[in-house]
Structure 1
Amino acid sequence: MTDVSRRGLLRAAGALGAGAVLPVTAAGAAAAVPAHPATAAHRGPGRAGRPADLGDRLELMAGTALVEQLDGAAFRLHQPVRREVAMTTDRPWEGSACHYRHVFRDGDTYRMYYTALDYDVRDGRVDIPHPGRIALAQSTDGITWTRPSLGLVEFDGSTDNNLVAGAGESHTFVFKDTNPAAPADARYKAIELADNATALYPLKSADGLTFSRISGTPMMVWGPKTGHGLVNMAFDTLNVAFWDPAIERYRLYIRYWPDLDDGGTYRAIMVSTSADFLTWSVPELLEYPGSPAPEENLYTNNVVRYHRAPHTLLGFPMRYVQPAGWMVSHLHLPNVEHREERSRASERYGTAMTDTLFMSSRDGTVFDRWDEAYIQPGPGVENWKYADNSVGCGIVVTPSQVGGAPDELSIYATEGYWTGDELDVVRYSMRVDGFVSLHAPRSGGEAITAPIRVGGEHLVLNLATSAAGRVRVEVQNPAGRPIDGFSLEESDPLFGDDLARVVTWRRGDPGLGALVGRPVRLRFVLDDADVYSLRFRAAITFDGTEAMVEGHHDDGTLTAAQRQALLAELAAARTAAAGGRTDDAVAALDRFLAAAGAVSDDAARDTLREAGTVLTRQVADPWPTLYGWLGGDVEPEKGNLENLGLSSALVALDYRNRSVGAAFWEPVAITALTLRDVDGTTRLTPGDLSVYVSDTNDGDWRRVEGVQVARVPGGFTFTGFDVTARYVKVVQPHSDDAFTFTNQLSKMLEVTTA
């Protein structure tokens, strides 16, 4: 993992001017600096001087311009985890140069379109034993892959292979067109490299198996034929295209060779857009503000829309590194003999090396690029060659290999290029949204956002902490003053590992309803913790979930049968819950979750499953009780409960003026209490115990009069009262270190409600 604190300081210095000196605190650490001073003006989701209006859109920490100030916190790049070899390209029509690929989910099937090509390195030459073709692999889970026998293209006298028809040769990019206006015979499209690599042609297909040209006219050309003067374009890469609903146009990412001041050139990326996939705008070079190495050679681009945040584009370019000739370290890399053999054909074949970078953008042209490797060559024997460690295009959702863990994201990279008769396609995984986090070490740190308009009643974070780590959130007005009820002191400490944790204040209250539509700043205070994304969300209800289902059906994401099944289970759960049949309601929601899990669209599946999970929690425990305690409660009228939510904690009651209590999500009618000890022996007497209640847990406690306390086997009972409140506690007077009454919190205190 790589932190951005160093980059942030470099960028701040750049913004201040050459030779600028950043302020230093008394402790010697750099004072709080703007998070992205060089790029915030380009990438912010709001207009200059106006609050960012996210609505209910998820905002990744990757490349965000929302964070305006960092103090002790940093943005951290999280490298993916190498998993299994997904596929080895060992079929006769494949080989050691099956480099380019695009992976995406199509309904219930994962598709991987890839180059089928072989290199034979010997006698100072690189021969190509058979022409390159485009092949298709399929999977039901993104982990285990098979090659369907398509019977479309003949190879060595047989059509028993997985080669796609009419898709051209080795540089073709195939994708599923999500443009709702795309005709049925062009639901799949492709870009074919032709005319001696000087032109790109548009292809179409109804099934993704047999392609034909949409037009005999190239969609783009380079060299003397071009009409826009960009003669340095080059198409010998994976030219990536997709429909972007944010701009209602297609995007196309290609290669360009900009001129350098010293007369040289380097491999760069350009983007063009089109309304019809045939006529394209003049390409523009991508920009990387703040990058210390903007002129690095990027061999591929692999830009995709992120399904959970469609306004965000992510790129995984292959970085091409070519030292100036042979160096001593080359002799220490694996398989030197083969490296020398490749160099006999061309020196760069032996000296060049590659890895993968990560970058993100909100407009598709200006990218926040991390210049530290996202995937490094590592210790592998076959990983230090030109075209190794190269991620293909596409991110897919795959099941976690950890039991009970949520789904994760997967990408696929090459290992073993050039050597032998095959290469490996290796799966890498990462947590959902887990590209870049806002991170603070155990010593702590914080971040403050620019003004954001509150877009929903709940603030939801994707976060992970250590056992000792915490995340707290303060809501401020645009001037930076805490808003009453949402201050740091009122923020419940968040810990755990959760893709959608709702932030709570005032001892369990998640409601931002009074702030919806208002501009605020968010202050994050973290220690040993990571926050990967944030979003505002409406409170999840049965009505809202039904509307969500209807919306996904209206936009074509759900079939009529899926809509009917989901709505039927929601109706069954609602009826059962209203009738007090909790088990039946939970069973119906389990069926709802199973139906939601079969939805092929990643974004829709995520939101439906999240809604089903929240509804299940609400139905199973509609008023979840949070237990807590307070030490030193010598002024019960002012002593607020702490440690709420630690229901399994073992606690002693008669110890240092301690009180124990419970919190509810809304005021409830409390009619009785029971205290239970582990062994039933205690020095406490009924006269020692009193009951207090509160509406806010904020110094407004009042004693409940007339309570009848009785000693019973194993503890005490409290009856004879009926009071409505959100918080209740039992107070005892012993102030010494001895204790005789202990139990787990949730077993010690039982609250009876009407």
Structure 2
Amino acid sequence: MPLGFPFEIGSKLTGRWRYISLSRQIGGYCWGWLAAGLAFLVISQATRAEPIELGGRRELFTDDRLVEKQQNVDWRLCKPQDRGEVLAFDKPWEGAFAGYATVIPHDGKLSLYYRGLPVAGKDESDVEVTCYAESTDGVRWTKPELGLFEVDGSKRNNVLLAHAAPNSHNFSPFLDSNPAASKEARFKALAVAHGVDQRGLVAYISADGIHWEKLREAPVIVGGALDSQNVAFWSEAEGKYVAYYRVYVDDVRSAARVTSGDFINWSEPELMSYSDTNSTTPSDHLYITQTQPYFRAPHLYVSTVGRFVPNRRVVTDEQAQEIGVHPSYFGDVSDVMFMSSRGGAVYDRKFTDALIKPGIGLSNWVSRTNFPALNVVPSGPDEMSLYVQAGYGQPTHHLRRYAMRTDGFAAISASRKGGEVTTKPLTFDGSDLSLNFSTSAAGDVRVEIQDADGKPLPGYSLDDAVELVGNDIDGIYRWKGTASVKELAGQVVRLRFVLRDAELYSFQFR
């Protein structure tokens, strides 16, 4: 009688044969279930996610890519502190419509680049120039007389690009960190240009960031709206140049991304998508994305976005006259938001509220004011700075500095009752664990290191963890008897962060 003999036939037998038939049938089903179970285990093991390889890089809590479990914690977007005006756009060639600023740290100083435009309605004309200022501390800025171009009958000015319409409309430079970059092209830039058949972005190069020349006459990137600040950089993580530029999707201001190995030949564009909408249409008009590699974690791109809210009018006609704003520039409002990306065509928008809200006073509630400069830059041992335009379209137009804690874009936070997060499986290189954290006088942070299955490792359990109390950008974590994690380097582990009345901004194995 064959194995798994049909029960209907077997049931017609009697006595011992009926019993044998039923037993064989049940045995057949058991073998089937066992085989299925073994197959499931094999597939489960095969499809288990590979551990995240941290190496020695710093990780921030701008997204939840590393987090697998969380309990009683909040994800908090940190708010920069207004430190006041640092530079007035007060030269005759700068004026009320100056904009699209970029700040670049290099050679012990900060270089500031921005459009000069004293009158409305002259976009992409020869009235526009590209201006330059510099600072050694990020607070006091000077405008050197470069003597390069004659403006208003004199070369005594801080203009580094003129008579190059429309390139000065949104000239956006960067310091090229590509190890293969030549000295003559240490700085690079993109600027809008009029191609033969369509608009595009033309490439500039410079050895010193002051004297610029076109890499070639023809645009290197074509297509897109491009009527905004279009940004590029060398990506250490991706090993290529990356550029983000303005496009419209469903009549909403959005962004596209292209990449290049040589800054001349670029890939086909990809529309960026957004985690909060799961689509290529953002939930807000993103006037400028200001995407940049974060200087302490270059694999992470941070985006200090200029959000634009069209047709939302706050200022009345009478109030507009009082503050002196141009009649065409108080029908909309704008502020600063935050996004991040780890490469590819996706922006993570875990935080959809404002990073910087418009300030007190009607002058902050007009069109295209509050737009951020490109790049968050270090400005102290525990501080970084973001620069924001204020008073656009007004005689008082200027640049303000906002101070932020180093790594302090966002944090995981827990109350006095306590909370915790556990990471996904990961590997690391290094001998100690550095935390950027803050606690109250009564709060603390504890760290447990687990194996891949979530079991505490001997010597690194929560019982072994020493309470970390204080406020530090670079606090070395300790367990009873040791601060070294060298013996765990290369192993697959999980980190369990337990917080009480505390915030955790970043961590790094060093």
Give yes or no for TM over 0.5: yes
1:516, distance to aligned residue in structure 2 (A): 2.0
Amino acid across the alignment from 1:304: Q
- Correspondence 1:65 to 2:38: no
**How many Å apart are 1:522 and its aligned residue?**
1.1
Q: Which has the higher helix share?
A: 1
Report the Cα offset of residue 338 of structure 1: 6.4
**CA 1:98/1:48 → structure 2, altered by over 3 Å: closer, same or farther?**
farther
Tell me if the contact between 2:131 and 2:161 (Cα under 8 Å) persists in the aligned partners. no
* Residues 108 and 521 of structure 1, relative CA distance in 2, 3 Å threshold: same
Q: Secondary structure at the residue paired with 1:255?
A: strand
Give, in whole Å, the separation in 1 of the partners of 2:86 and 2:344.
30
Per-residue displacement from partner, 1:553-575 (whole Å, max 9, x unpaired)? xxxxxxxxxxxxxxxxxxxxxxx
Q: Quote the RMSD (CA, aligned, Å).
A: 2.3
Q: Structure 1 vs Structure 2: percent identity of aligned residues?
A: 38
CA shift digits 1:671-728 (9 cap, x unpaired): xxxxxxxxxxxxxxxxxxxxxxxxxxxxxxxxxxxxxxxxxxxxxxxxxxxxxxxxxx
Q: Is the 8 A contact 1:113 1:136 kept in 2?
A: yes
SS of the residue corresponding to residue 417 of structure 1 reads coil
Deviation of the 1:440 alpha carbon: 0.6
Please give the residue correspondences for 1:484-495 in structure 2 after superposition, counting only pairs within 5 Å: 484-495=458-469
- The answer to whether residue 348 in structure 2 is matched with residue 368 in structure 1 is yes
2:212 alignment counterpart = 211
Structure 1 match to 2:439:
465
The corresponding residue for 2:34 is none
Find out whether 1:90 has 2:90 as its counterpart: yes
Q: Separation in 1 of the partners of 2:318 and 2:409?
A: 30
Which secondary structure state, in structure 2, belongs to the residue aligned with residue 514 of structure 1? helix
AA at the equivalent of 1:256:
V
- Once the two structures are superposed, the pairs formed by residues 250-399 of structure 1 within 5 Å of their partners are 250-259=241-250, 265-291=251-277, 294-323=282-311, 330-331=315-316, 335-337=319-321, 342=326, 345=328, 349-369=329-349, 370-399=351-380
Contact kept, 8 Å, 2:230 with 2:243, in 1: the verdict is yes
Q: Distance in 1 between matches of 2:169 and 2:432?
A: 49
Q: 1:48 to 1:365 in 2, by over 3 A?
A: farther
CA distance in 2, matches of 1:179, 1:375: 32
What is the CA-CA distance between 1:117 and the residue it aligns to? 1.1
Pair 1:111–1:334, CA change in 2 (3 A): farther
CA spacing shift, 1:94–1:321, aligned 2, 3 Å: same
Please tell me whether the aligned partners of residues 254 and 282 of structure 2 are also in contact (alpha carbons under 8 angstroms).
no
CA shift at 1:57, angstroms?
0.9
Which residue in the other structure is 2:392 paired with? 417
> Is the 8 Å Cα contact of residues 295 and 377 (structure 2) preserved in structure 1?
no
Offset of residue 380 of structure 1: 3.1
The one of 408, 417, 423 equivalent to 1:434 is: 408
Write the deviation string for residues 333-356 of structure 1: whole angstroms up to 9, x where unpaired.
99344699855x5xxx43211011
Q: Which AA in structure 2 matches 1:182?
A: A
* 2:226 corresponding residue in structure 1: 235
**Given that residues 239 and 253 in structure 1 are in contact (C-alpha distance below 8 angstroms), is that contact kept between their aligned partners in structure 2?**
yes
TM-score by length of 1: 0.58
Cα distance 1:513–1:201, how it changes in 2: closer, same or farther (>3 A)? closer
Q: Is the 8 A contact 1:471 1:493 kept in 2?
A: yes
Residue 452 (structure 1) aligns with: 426
Alpha carbons of structure 1 residues 291 and 77: separation in structure 2 relative to 1, 3 Å = farther
Q: Which amino acid aligns with 2:267?
A: S
Query: What amino acid sits opposite 1:70 in the alignment?
Result: Q
CA shift for structure 1 position 55: 1.2
Greater relative contact order, per chain length (Cα 8 Å cut-off, separation 6+): 2
Gaps of 5+ in 2: 1-46
1:161 to 157, 174, 184: 157
Give how far 1:74 is off.
Answer: 1.9
Task: Give the C-alpha shift of residue 180 in structure 1.
Answer: 2.1
Superposed CA deviations along residues 83-111 of structure 1, whole A, max 9, x for unmatched, are: 02110011111101111111011112210
**How far apart are 1:364 and its partner, in Å?**
4.4
CA drift of 1:183 comes to 2.3
Aligned residues of 2:315 and 2:366 also touching (Cα < 8 A): no
Aligned partner of residue 267 in structure 1, secondary structure:
strand
CA offset digits 1:377-417 (Å, max 9, x no partner): 03133111111111110121113xxxxxx331011001000
Contact 1:255 1:300 in 2 (8 A): yes
Asked which structure has the greater CA Rg, the reply is 1
Instruction: Report SS of the residue matched to 1:185.
Output: helix
- One-letter code of the match for 2:419? G
- Distance (whole Å) between structure 2 residues aligned to residue 147 and residue 236 of structure 1: 27
Task: Give, in angstroms, the shift of residue 176 of structure 1.
Answer: 1.8
Tell me whether 448-457 or 162-171 shows the greater mean CA deviation: 162-171
Counterpart in 1 of 2:131?
135
Given candidates 518, 522, 527, the residue that maps to 2:500 is 527
Aligned pair 1:475/2:449, yes or no?
Answer: yes
CA distance, structure 1, for counterparts of residue 191 and residue 497 of structure 2: 48
What stretches of structure 1 of length at least 5 have no aligned partner? 1-46, 121-125, 223-232, 260-264, 400-405, 538-754
Residues 316 and 358, structure 1, Cα contact 8 Å, conserved in 2? yes
Query: AA paired with 1:311?
Result: H
Cα distance, 1:294 vs. partner?
2.9
Cα 1:459–1:217 change in 2 (3 A) is same
The answer to whether the 8 Å contact 1:492/1:505 transfers is: yes
In the alignment, does 2:107 pair up with 1:107?
yes
What's the counterpart of residue 13 of structure 2? none
What is residue 659 of structure 1 aligned with on the other side? none
**Which residue does the alignment assign to 1:81?**
81
Q: For 1:144, give the aligned amino acid.
A: R
Contact 2:277 2:283 survives alignment (8 Å): no
Which amino acid in 2 is paired with 1:436?
A
Identify which of 496, 509, 521 aligns with 2:482.
Answer: 509
Letter in 2 for 1:535: Q
> How far, CA to CA, are the matches of 1:298 and 1:275 in structure 2?
27
Query: Aligned partner of 1:390: which letter?
Result: F
> Paired residue for 2:12?
none
Q: Which residue of 1 aligns with 2:17?
A: none
CA distance in 2, matches of 1:236, 1:511: 52
Q: Distance in 1 between matches of 2:140 and 2:87?
A: 8
Going from structure 1 to structure 2, the CA distance change for 1:190 and 1:48 (only over 3 Å counts) comes to farther
**Alignment check: 8 A CA contact 1:338 1:419 kept:** no
Contact 2:323–2:362 (Cα < 8 Å) also in 1: no
441-450 vs 380-389, which moves further: 380-389
* Alignment TM-score, normalising by the size of structure 2: 0.84
Moved more, 169-178 or 146-155: 169-178
Determine helix, strand or coil for the equivalent of 2:111: strand
Shift of 1:130: 7.3
- Counterpart amino acid of residue 495 in structure 2: L
- CA 1:64/1:341 → structure 2, altered by over 3 Å: closer, same or farther? closer
> Are 2:448 and 2:497, in contact at CA under 8 Å, matched by a contact in 1?
yes
- What is the letter of the counterpart of residue 470 of structure 1? D
Partner secondary structure for residue 392 of structure 2: coil
SS of the equivalent of 1:335 reads helix
